[in-house]
């Protein structure tokens, strides 16, 4: 029995290695590394080093056990040099790779409005660290407390079926008194490392416009920008609307007002002045308003399934129907799942214990590339339209998420309210994600998926 189990494990490892090699070859990771200025200095090639670090999470090893202690054919200094290069443009590497994968996914989702760009941030915790460069006390909005670490501002592309991280910024604190450790290196301000450090102490909302411009310049197409209520301020909505229509959730805050029927009102006041649909309608009401800057928008009020409260969604696209707004915003849940996966399964926070800020950026990029790999592999293994014959045959468009599914996703986003009621604990959410990931990993390593869809890139 042990021999059979060992044989099965070896077969699974070979299959996974084959999938990873195919992924690196199909998307020309060597070329992308070269374009990002990540070139061989000494020892092994950058592709070999990247692949060794890439495989750590799948081999269930941390950086010390998998790179420092294990004989890889290159010294640990070569791996550290890769992660700490001041002139290496890791942002360009991730963006170019995501653009290539998004192009493949776009062939399967032809309607532009179904593709969205999701903006959100999450806490990157380093609770026991002391001398990590730019380490700061940051607020964890979910737990409503401060912790040691960083904020991970992330933009992810989604077509409602798969999600790709396309850009991120690792943020410290703008306030020097909240930074627990300063910068360690004196750098040329023109290099990538210096720009990343300047970015780390910049207000997150000031980075959004530049990040979106880079994403659009890379050729990644999307129809809407989705944001949580943390970013839903009129000035931000107006700035981002210049690129694409914005759909976001609103908070009823006294200093955020909209012009409704000629009167400046809070969101709660607008809701009280509307005629509500009778019965147990999921969508209670909707109306058109103006932002303080004069930009027209539509607000849709959705019933909270657990309480008598309501949730408000704003769309700057007035032509979208109420249900379409709810359906589209429901895709924002995808980035929450992504954060869970990169932290708990792809070892974003625990794999390396580096103190150098460049190393943190490089490692976070590699973790995002792992997620791109899993997302691509899932699509190739499970979407039958991803066969080479797809591009020569007529097939029905992939079904978008239903209104009911979107509503369920939106309700899940109101975790703070649900936690107050004690109806959905963090442990329950974690168990749900565990089941989903176990299923995904099983499909990834299953022999049935091996060898399928190899012609997807060449066929396109």
* pLDDT band for position 130 (cuts 50, 70, 90): confident
**Out of 170-184, 196-210, 319-333, which region has the weakest mean confidence (pLDDT)?**
170-184
Residue owning tokens 């700035």: 239
At residue 197, the 3 state secondary structure works out as helix
Q: Is the pLDDT of residue 20 over 80?
A: yes
Residue 397 is classified by DSSP as: P
- Note the pLDDT of residue 452: 42
Task: Evaluate if residue 111 carries a pLDDT over 90.
Answer: no
Whose CA is closest to 122, among 74, 166, 158, 168? 168
Give the span between the Cα atoms of 287 and 303, in whole angstroms: 15
Give the pLDDT score at 433: 52
Q: Poorest-confidence range of 67-71, 95-99, 106-110, 413-417? A: 413-417
Residue 414: helix, strand or coil by DSSP? coil
| CA–CA–CA angle 61, 354, 66 (5° rounding) | 20
Mean pLDDT highest for which of 184-188, 308-312, 371-375? 371-375
For residues 233-246, give the mean pLDDT.
Answer: 96
What single DSSP character describes residue 38? -
Please identify which residue in the block is written with the tokens 């759909």.
Answer: 247
> Of 27, 50, 23, whose CA–CA distance to 38 is shortest?
50
Percent of the chain surpassing pLDDT 90: 54
Strand-strand pairing, 263-265 and 296-303: unpaired
> Predicted confidence band at 450 (pLDDT cuts at 50, 70, 90)?
very low
Helix (H) or strand (E) holding 340: helix 333-344
3-class DSSP assignment, residue 314:
strand
Can you read off the two tokens belonging to residue 455?
């012609």
Environment class of 239 (CB within 10 Å of its CB; exposed 0-12, middle 13-18, buried 19+): middle
Stretch among 91-95, 128-132, 216-220, 293-297 having the lowest mean pLDDT: 128-132
Query: And the tokens for 451?
Result: 């060898």
Task: Give the pLDDT mean for 113-138.
Answer: 90
In angstroms and rounded to an integer, the radius of gyration of the C-alpha atoms of the chain is 23
CA 226/CA 413 separation, integer angstroms? 13
User: Rounded to an integer, what distance in angstroms lies between the CA atom of residue 251 and that of residue 233?
Assistant: 10
Q: Residue 192 class from Cβ within 10 Å (0-12 exposed, 13-18 middle, 19+ buried)? A: buried
pLDDT tens by residue, 291-331 = 988 999 999 999 887 667 899 999 999 999 999 999 999 99
For the residues 74-84, what does the mean pLDDT come to?
Answer: 86
Distance of CA 126 to the CA centre of its chain: 20
């Amino acid at each position: 029995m042990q021999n059979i189990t060992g044989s099965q494990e070896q077969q699974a490892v070979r299959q996974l290695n084959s999938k990873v090699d195919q992924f690196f070859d199909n998307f020309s990771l060597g070329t992308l590394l070269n374009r990002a200025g990540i070139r061989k200095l000494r020892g092994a090639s950058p592709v070999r080093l990247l692949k060794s670090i890439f495989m750590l999470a799948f081999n269930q090893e941390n950086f010390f056990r998998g790179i420092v202690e294990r004989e890889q054919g290159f010294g640990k200094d070569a791996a550290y040099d890769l992660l700490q290069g001041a002139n290496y443009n890791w942002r360009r590497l991730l963006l170019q790779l995501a653009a290539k994968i998004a192009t493949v996914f776009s062939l399967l989702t032809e309607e532009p409005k179904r593709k969205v760009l999701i903006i959100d941030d999450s806490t990157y915790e380093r609770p026991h660290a002391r001398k990590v460069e730019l380490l700061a006390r940051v607020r964890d909005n979910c737990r409503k407390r401060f912790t040691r670490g960083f904020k991970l501002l992330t933009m992810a592309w989604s077509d409602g079926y798969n999600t790709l991280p396309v850009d991120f910024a690792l943020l410290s604190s703008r306030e020097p008194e909240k930074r627990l450790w300063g910068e360690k290196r004196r750098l040329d301000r023109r290099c990538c490392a210096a720009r990343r450090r300047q970015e780390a102490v910049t207000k997150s909302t000031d980075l959004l416009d530049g990040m979106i411009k880079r994403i659009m310049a890379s050729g990644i197409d999307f129809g809407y920008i989705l944001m949580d209520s943390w970013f839903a301020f009129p000035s931000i909505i107006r700035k981002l609307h210049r690129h694409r229509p914005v759909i976001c959730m609103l908070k009823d805050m006294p200093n955020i007002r909209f012009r409704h029927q000629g009167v400046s009102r809070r969101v709660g006041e607008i809701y009280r002045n509307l005629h509500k649909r009778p019965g147990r309608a999921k969508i209670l009401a909707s109306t058109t308003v103006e932002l303080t800057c004069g930009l027209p928008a539509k607000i849709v009020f959705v019933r909270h399934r657990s309480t008598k409260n309501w949730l408000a969604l704003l769309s700057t696209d007035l032509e979208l129907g109420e249900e379409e707004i709810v359906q589209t915003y429901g895709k924002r849940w995808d980035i929450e799942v992504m954060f869970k996966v990169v932290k708990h399964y792809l070892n974003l926070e625990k794999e390396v214990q580096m103190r150098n800020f460049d190393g943190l950026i490089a490692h976070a990029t590699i973790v995002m590339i792992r997620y791109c790999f899993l997302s691509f592999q899932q699509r190739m293994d499970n979407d039958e339209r991803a066969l080479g014959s797809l591009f020569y045959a007529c097939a029905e468009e992939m079904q978008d998420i239903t209104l009911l599914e979107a509503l369920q996703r939106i309700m899940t986003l109101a975790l703070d309210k649900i936690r107050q009621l004690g109806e959905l604990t963090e442990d329950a959410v974690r168990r749900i994600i565990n089941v989903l990931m176990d299923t995904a990993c099983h499909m990834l390593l299953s022999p049935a998926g091996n060898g399928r869809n190899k012609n997807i890139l060449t066929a396109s």
